[in-house]
Amino acid sequence: MLREKIKKASIIPKVGDIVEIEKTSNKTGVIIDVKPRKNELSKPNIANIDQVVIVLSSYKPDFNSLILDKFLVFYQSYNIDCIICINKSDLLDNSLKEFINYYSNIGYKLIYTSAKTGDGIDDLKQELLEKVSVLAGVSGAGKSSIINRIDSNLKLKVGDVSENLGIGKHTTRYVSLQMIRYKNKNCFIADSPGFSFIELNNIESKKLSYYFREFIPFINKCEMKDCLHLHEDNCFLKKNIDIENNHRYLNYLKFLNEILEIEKIKKTKSSKIENNIKIFKKSDGKNIKIIKLPEELRDKSRKFINQNLKKLEKINSIDDIDL
Ligand code: GDP
Ligand code: ZN
C-alpha cells in the first residue's frame, strides 16, 4: 500500500528502493516514503545498484571489445560501477587473455570464470558480498550457468520466472532481488534481460570520453573546452595515445559517430517543434508559448471557438437564469 504523499509526488517505488514503512498490523504496512535513489535503471527496473557484473564469454559468442566498451559506457553513464566477468575461461587462449587483461590494467575489476569447471566462481562471489549487483551480458555468454553456480537455489527462481511467462529465459519481464548468503554475509543479485544491442541515445557527445576511464587524466588538458578528441587542434588526449591502434579510442570514435548522428536527428526534430511554437508577450511581461496548429486544424479550432462564443452570448442574453 502506498501513502498519499508518495502518490502525490508520483513516485513509483522500484525494486531496490530504500523506503520508510509504517506498520498497520503485525504483518502489514504502508510505504510512507521513498528515499532518494543513488542511481536507477529501467532495464531491469531497479534502483540503488552498487554494481553491474558484465558477463561476456571468451568463445561462442566470441569476446568483442566493442560490446564490452558499450556496456561499460552505458552503465557508467548511469553512475554505476562495473565489474567485468569473462566466462568460459576453460576455452580462453592466452593471447586473448593478454588482450583482455588491458581492462584490468586500466583499473577495472576483471574476473575470469568457468561455469563449467567452477573456476573463478568464488572470486566472483567475493565481489558480490554485501552489495546489490545486477548481472548483465549478452545471451549465450553463460549468465544463467553462472547464476546456478553461484547458488543452486537461484536456479529455480530465475528458471521459474521465465518458464511461467513462456517467453524464453532471456526476456524476463520483471525483476526481483535474490538474496544469497556467502561467508555469513548477504549478497543481493538481480538478473537483467540479455541485450541484443544497447542504445547510447541518452549520452551527450561531450561527455562520452569521461566514460573511458583511462582518458580522464588527459581530457581536461585539451585546449578546447568540450573537446570531442576528433579533429580539434591541440587535443591532449590524441597526443598521448596511439590513435591508430588503441582499440578503446577506435571504439570511442564509433560510439561518438553514433551519438553525433542521434544528436543531429534530435536537433532537427526540436527545430521543427520550435518552428511550430509562437511566443506571445503577456501584459505582465511574461512570455507564453502557443503551439501553432496546422492550417486545417486552425480552421476547425476557429469554428469551435466561434460556436462556443455564440453559446456564451446566448447564456449571457438570458437575464433570469435559475442557478
Ligand atoms: P546465458 O544465455 O548467458 O544465460 O548462457 P547459458 O548459461 O544458457 O549458457 C550458454 C551455453 O554456454 C550453454 O550451452 C552452456 O552449457 C555453455 N556454457 C556456459 N558456461 C560455460 C563455461 O564456462 N564453459 C563452457 N565451455 N561452456 C559454458
Ligand atoms: Zn581532446
pLDDT, position 163: 38
Q: What is the pLDDT of residue 313?
A: 58
Q: Is the pLDDT of residue 237 over 60?
A: yes
Nearest to 89 by CA among 66, 62, 125, 59: 59
Over residues 218-226, mean pLDDT: 95
Picking from 253, 216, 214, 254, the residue whose alpha carbon sits closest to that of residue 231 is 253
Give the residue, 298 or 182, on which the prediction is more confident: 182
SS3 string, the chain, reads CECHHHHHCCCCCCECCCEEEEECCCCCEEEEEECCCCCEEECCEEECCCEEEEEEECCCCCCCHHHHHHHHHHHHCCCCEEEEEEECHHHCCHHHHHHHHHHHHCCCEEEECCCCCCCCHHHHHHHHCCCEEEEEECCCCCHHHHHHHHCHHHHHHHHHHHHHHCCCCCCCCCCCCEEEEECCEEEEEEECCCCCCCCCCCCCHHHHHHHCHHHHHHHCCCCCCCCCCCCCCCCHHHHHCCCCCCHHHHHHHHHHHHHHHHHHHHHHHHHHHHHCEEEEECCCCCEEEEECCCHHHHHHHHHHHHHHHHHHHHHHHCCCCCC
pLDDT at position 312 is 55
Residue nearest to atom 12 of ligand 1 (CA): 142
Counting from 1 in the atom list of ligand 1, the atom nearest the Cα of 140 is 2
Q: What's the pLDDT at 145?
A: 92
* 29 bridge partner residues: 23
What are the tens digits of pLDDT across the range 101-160? 999 999 999 999 999 999 999 999 999 999 999 999 888 999 989 999 998 877 544 433
The answer, yes or no, to whether the previous bond of 36 is cis (omega within 30 of 0) is no
Of 205-214, 219-228, 305-314, which gets the smallest average pLDDT? 305-314
Question: Is 283 exposed, middle or buried, given 0-12, 13-18 or 19+ CB atoms closer than 10 A?
Answer: exposed
Confidence label for 293 from pLDDT (cuts 50, 70 and 90) = low
Phi, psi of 45 (to 5 degrees): -80, 90
pLDDT grade, residue 280 (50/70/90)? confident
Q: Whose CA is nearest to atom 25 of ligand 1?
A: 88
- Model confidence over 3-23: pLDDT tens digits? 666 666 677 888 999 999 888
Q: Read off the pLDDT band of 164 (50, 70, 90).
A: very low
Average pLDDT over residues 223-241: 95
What's the rounded Cα separation, in Å, for the pair 238 and 246? 10
For residues 100 and 154, is the Cβ–Cβ distance under 8 A? no
pLDDT at 216: 96
Instruction: Give whichever of 157-161, 170-174, 204-208 has the largest mean pLDDT.
Output: 204-208
Query: Residue 318 pLDDT more than 50?
Result: no
Q: How would residue 276 be classed by pLDDT, with cut points 50, 70 and 90?
A: confident
Q: Which of 243 and 286 is assigned the larger pLDDT?
A: 243
Task: Give mean pLDDT, residues 243-260.
Answer: 96
Of 245 and 268, which is predicted with more confidence?
A: 245
Distance 140 CA to ligand 1 centre (A): 6
Centroid of ligand 2 to alpha carbon of 52 (angstroms): 29
Report the percentage of the chain scoring pLDDT > 90.
56
For 54-90, the pLDDT digits (tens) are: 999 999 999 999 999 999 999 999 999 999 999 999 9
Q: Is residue 316 predicted with pLDDT exceeding 60?
A: no
- Percent of the chain surpassing pLDDT 70: 79
Q: Is the CB of 145 under 6 A from ligand 1?
A: yes
Place of cell 542511481: 39
Q: What b/e sequence results for 183-211 when a residue is b if at least 16 CB atoms lie within 10 Å of its CB, and e otherwise?
A: eeeebbbbbbbbbeeeebeebebeebbbb
**Which of 139, 145, 163, 192 has the most ligand 1 atoms within 8 A of CB, as the residue to mutate?**
145
Q: Is the pLDDT of residue 234 over 60?
A: yes
Listed residues: CB within 5 A of ion ligand 2: 222, 227, 229, 235, 237
Mean pLDDT of 36-52: 90
Cα 253 to ligand 2 centre (Å)? 12
- CA 188 to each of CA 14, 166, 174, 316: distance values in angstroms, whole numbers, following the listed order: 15, 25, 16, 68
Model pTM greater than 0.95? no
State the average pLDDT for the chain: 84
Q: Using CA positions, which residue lies closest to atom 26 of ligand 1?
A: 88
Please work out whether the CB of residue 88 comes within 6 Å of at least one atom of ligand 1. Answer: yes
